[in-house]
Amino acid sequence: MRLLTHNMLSSNIKGVSNGFPLRIEVEKVVEKQVDFNADFLRNMFPKIEWKAFVDAAKTIGYAELPEEVDSSALDSEEFLNKFHHALLELHLEEGALVCPETGRRFPVSKGIPNMLLHEDEV
Amino acid sequence: MWYLCMFFHRLLDYRKAEVESLAQLFLDDNDKWSSLEWRLPLHHHPDSPFHYVDLPSEDVARNIANRSILVKGMYEIWGEGSSYEELEECIRSYPDERKLPYLEPGTTFKITVDSFGKVISFQDQNDRIQRFTYIPFKGQVNLKNPDHKFWVMETDDYGSSNGLPPVDGRRIFFGREVGGADRSLLPTYQLKSRNYLGPTAMDAEMAFLMANQALATPGKLVYDPFVGTGSILVAAAHFGAMTMGADIDIRVVRDGRGPDCNVWSNFKQYGLPMPVGLLRADNNLPPWRPGLKEIFDAIICDPPYGVRAGGRKSGGRKLLKGTVDPYTVPDDKRTDHIPSTGAYSLVECVHDLLDLAARMLIMGGRLVFFYPVLREDDHVENHFPEHPCFKRIATSEQILSSRYSRVLLTMVKISPYTLEIAEAARIKHIDFRENHLKWLEDGNLHSAVFSPDPQLTATGDSKLSKEPKPKYRGKYV
């Protein structure tokens, strides 16, 4: 699971009012190279919840991202490279996403987060 | 300028829709929102493979043709006629400034004779080519790699008995090829060479058509909420789009059939970039964070409509039937608990899909999906799902059996997802939950497709009650 996916997900257990951002429990992180596409990054940038993104990157061991940023940063190649790396090249291969309100663990295995709810959670 | 567009004689309903979609990719912003103009050659049936289309430039025509799957060729027509004499007259009167640049010394060319609905022997092809000596070709012939390709295309005035659309009169076209589909990618991607297959994997040609309808290009994010083995996303990735997929069945998305036979390996096999995200999620209760919207450029999918594969949603089989109280998972069993799922009716599935798309697609983004229809009546036009955020721009039918067909719907998001729409969707969601059984019965396609034909059982004579055979194969090809 890449941080792009993490940034889109929340815990949707019945009764949970603020399931975002999911806390990351790391067991194994891998890096996989992805072709750089500046257009894609520019399209994604305004959709990203930045603080959650920076925190998630730190949790999986990447601390190069600026704490605060606005869209003018997209002109900087250095920034785009870092953004690209954090958004697409770091994978949480094994671990879990934890609901911030209930502590329910959504396991991540082979890079796939399992977001399906139990019977009593829907 | 008018170009002759010759289609492969397949998937008739999909042909113009594909060209119109691709035009959106290659037209200037000024021309974009006006629809293309089409015209049929004299005496041609709408199912004929020959159609004239008006495009602003040769570049646009070439780009559309080269990216398409169903355009055999796009031609600048120098002349057409009902006989070779009429054709000659027409070619002679075609302006020289349009002809001479392609006839110059130093260029290479080739003339191909093609026909529709008949076979022309090699000798006859040669004879036909020899007739064109009145065109002042100054270049060299090069059959392997010519600069300019000229085509002679013929149709005859055969009757309607040979399985092809009826043509009233003979028609001959002569033109210069501008571009054509690269169908060599179909054998590359054909399903029988695919490592990881599921029972409902989308065949390669259809998947590419879907990706074209969705305008998949580099820099875009395409989502499939019923990803399965990834067969649709493979096509989108081929055209350079970033892909993301979800499925409720974890065995499919996570495990596949081993380390080199899973969704990832299907992309690796063709050297395509991996999906940016795969997850296990329920389309009925999607886990997207509140506030997330307008992130996908396109959503392409083949929803489970309960004929070959049924949809599932979370909630539990027994609970949804109302026979037991909600099952509480004991704390010590939570970690590895596998939640049971209940049947997911088609109507609810499509409702959820439209709601998801309305929220998550960017403005102008496209939702492309298959929708099954029963072929009880000939006109099914008015039964398609609708949504206030969407405008349907293409409806392409593919007949699957005498009972039902599937229709590829292409919808464009034309207005934003408002709070009112979200609230209406929430109320509907609760209605589906509370009246689960009723919706399951109403939305059940399986019995309609597989139950015995009431006509047949009533008369007991299958020969008499059979529908008359169609006059030509048309949409069946």
**Angle at CA B439, nearest 5°, toward B454 and B426?**
155
> Which one of A34, A112, A114, A117 would you mutate to disrupt binding with B, by most B Cβ within 10 Å of its Cβ?
A112
Residues B179 and B295 in one domain: no
Q: Which of B296, B303, B299, B307 is nearest to B410 (CA)?
A: B299
CATH number of the CATH domain containing B105:
3.30.2130
CATH number of the CATH domain containing A35:
2.20.25.10
Give the distance from residue B326's alpha carbon to the nearest chain A alpha carbon, in angstroms. 6
Report the distance separating Cα B207 and Cα B417, nearest Å: 28
A7: Cβ contacts below 8 Å, ≥ 6 apart:
A21, A48, A49, A52, A53, A56, B289
Q: Is the pLDDT of residue B193 over 80?
A: yes
pLDDT-derived band at B170 (thresholds 50, 70, 90) equals: confident
Q: In total, how many domains does chain A have? A: 1
Burial B227-236 (b: 16+ CB within 10 A, else e): bbbbbbbbbb
pTM of the full structure: 0.91
pLDDT-derived band at B13 (thresholds 50, 70, 90) equals: very high
Report the distance separating Cα B299 and Cα B224, nearest Å: 6
Higher-pLDDT residue of B9 and B474 is B9
pLDDT of A60-94, one tens digit each?
Answer: 999 999 999 998 999 999 999 999 999 999 999 99
Summarize the confidence of residues B204-213 as an average pLDDT.
97
Residues B221 and B161 in one domain: no
Handedness of CA B296, B298, B300, B306 (dihedral sign): positive
Q: Write down the pLDDT at residue B323.
A: 64
Q: Is the pLDDT of residue B310 over 90?
A: no
Q: Is the pLDDT of residue B379 over 90?
A: no
Give the 3-state secondary structure of residue B341: strand
B219: Cβ contacts below 8 Å, ≥ 6 apart:
A37, A39, A40, A43, B240, B241, B242
Q: Which of A37, A14, A70 is nearest to B273 (CA)?
A: A37
Q: Is the pLDDT of residue B419 over 60?
A: yes
C-alpha distances in angstroms, B88 versus B95, B131, B141, B271, B473?
A: 13, 9, 21, 49, 34
- Those residues of chain B whose CB sits closer than 8 Å to some CB in chain A are 218-221, 242, 244, 248, 250, 253-255, 273-274, 276-282, 285-292, 294-295, 297, 314-316, 319, 326-329, 334-335, 337, 339-340
Residues B368 and B269 in one domain: yes
| Helical residues (DSSP H) of chain A, grouped into ranges | 3-8, 38-44, 50-59, 77-84
Q: Is the pLDDT of residue B462 over 50?
A: no
Contacts of A12 in chain B (CB under 8 A): 285-287
**Angle at CA B371, nearest 5°, toward B295 and B181?**
75
Q: Is the pLDDT of residue B459 over 60?
A: no
Burial A33-60 (b: 16+ CB within 10 A, else e): ebeebeebbebbbebbbeebbbebbebb
Q: Say if the Cβ atoms of A105 and B290 lie within 8 Å.
A: no
Burial B244-258 (b: 16+ CB within 10 A, else e): bbbbbbbebbbbbee
B436 by Cβ neighbours in 10 Å (0-12 / 13-18 / 19+) ranks as buried
In this structure, of B170-184, B326-340, B341-355, the range with the lowest mean pLDDT score is: B326-340
Mark which of B183, B198, B218 sits at the end of a domain.
B183
In a domain, B472, yes or no: no
Summarize the confidence of residues B206-221 as an average pLDDT.
97
Q: Is the pLDDT of residue B251 over 50?
A: yes
Summarize the confidence of residues B365-387 as an average pLDDT.
81
Report the distance separating Cα B4 and Cα A29, nearest Å: 55
Cβ(B352)–Cβ(B426) below 8 Å: no
Q: At B381, list the tokens.
A: 């036009």
Size of interface A-B (CB pairs under 8 A): 113
Q: Is the pLDDT of residue B369 over 70?
A: yes
Q: Is the pLDDT of residue A1 over 90?
A: yes
Q: Which of B109, B285, B331, B311 is nearest to A16 (CA)?
A: B285
Within its chain, how far is the Cα of B29 from the centroid? Answer: 24
Summarize the confidence of residues B396-418 as an average pLDDT.
91
Q: Which of A75, A101, A79 is nearest to A19 (CA)?
A: A101
Q: Say if the Cβ atoms of B277 and A49 lie within 8 Å.
A: no
Element (H, E) at B392: strand B390-399
Residues B396 and B269 in one domain: yes
Query: Above pLDDT 70, what percent of chain B?
Result: 86
Quote the mean pLDDT of chain B.
Answer: 87
Residues B165 and B195 in one domain: no
| Max mean pLDDT range (A15-19, B121-125, B158-162, B454-458) | B121-125
Q: Say if the Cβ atoms of B279 and A10 lie within 8 Å.
A: no
In a domain, B305, yes or no: yes
pLDDT-derived band at B343 (thresholds 50, 70, 90) equals: confident
B216: Cβ contacts below 8 Å, ≥ 6 apart:
B222, B235, B236, B239, B240, B241, B298, B300
Q: Which residues pair with B455 in a beta bridge?
A: none
pLDDT-derived band at B393 (thresholds 50, 70, 90) equals: very high
Residues B224 and B282 in one domain: yes
Residue in B281, B295, B329 closest to A118 by CB = B329
| Helical residues (DSSP H) of B435-468, grouped into ranges | 436-442, 446-450, 454-459, 462-465
Residues B355 and B241 in one domain: yes
- Residue range of the domain that includes B419: 186-450
Cβ(A90)–Cβ(A58) below 8 Å: no
Strands (E), A55-114: 90-98, 105-109, 112-113
CATH number of the CATH domain containing B282:
3.40.50.150
In order, the DSSP letters of A9-33 are B----TT-S---SPEEEEEEEEE--
Q: Is the pLDDT of residue B414 over 90?
A: yes
Q: Is the pLDDT of residue B367 over 80?
A: yes
Residues B115 and B195 in one domain: no
In a domain, B477, yes or no: no
Residues B158 and B237 in one domain: no
Q: Write down the pLDDT at residue B362.
A: 97
In this structure, of B200-204, B289-293, B371-375, the range with the lowest mean pLDDT score is: B371-375
In a domain, B466, yes or no: no
pLDDT of A24-72, one tens digit each?
Answer: 999 999 999 999 999 999 999 999 999 999 999 999 999 999 999 998 9
Mark which of B116, B151, B183 sits at the end of a domain.
B183
pLDDT-derived band at B432 (thresholds 50, 70, 90) equals: confident
Q: Is the pLDDT of residue B70 over 60?
A: yes
Q: Which of B447, B197, B200, B198 is nearest to B309 (CA)?
A: B200
Summarize the confidence of residues B191-196 as an average pLDDT.
92
Q: At B176, list the tokens.
A: 């210069």
Report the distance separating Cα B386 and Cα B379, nearest Å: 17
In a domain, B370, yes or no: yes
C-alpha distances in angstroms, B119 versus B24, B155, B168, B172, B445?
A: 36, 10, 18, 14, 43
- Residue range of the domain that includes A50: 3-121
In a domain, B467, yes or no: no
Q: Write down the pLDDT at residue B410.
A: 97
In a domain, B283, yes or no: yes
Within its chain, how far is the Cα of B307 from the centroid? Answer: 20
Residue with tokens 């055969």: B158
Q: In total, how many domains does chain B have? A: 2
Residues B178 and B196 in one domain: no
Residues B111 and B227 in one domain: no
Mark which of B132, B151, B183 sits at the end of a domain.
B183
In a domain, B465, yes or no: no
pLDDT of A4-24, one tens digit each?
Answer: 999 999 999 989 988 999 999
Residues B146 and B200 in one domain: no
pLDDT-derived band at B476 (thresholds 50, 70, 90) equals: very low
Q: Is the pLDDT of residue B307 over 60?
A: yes
Q: Say if the Cβ atoms of B281 and A117 lie within 8 Å.
A: no
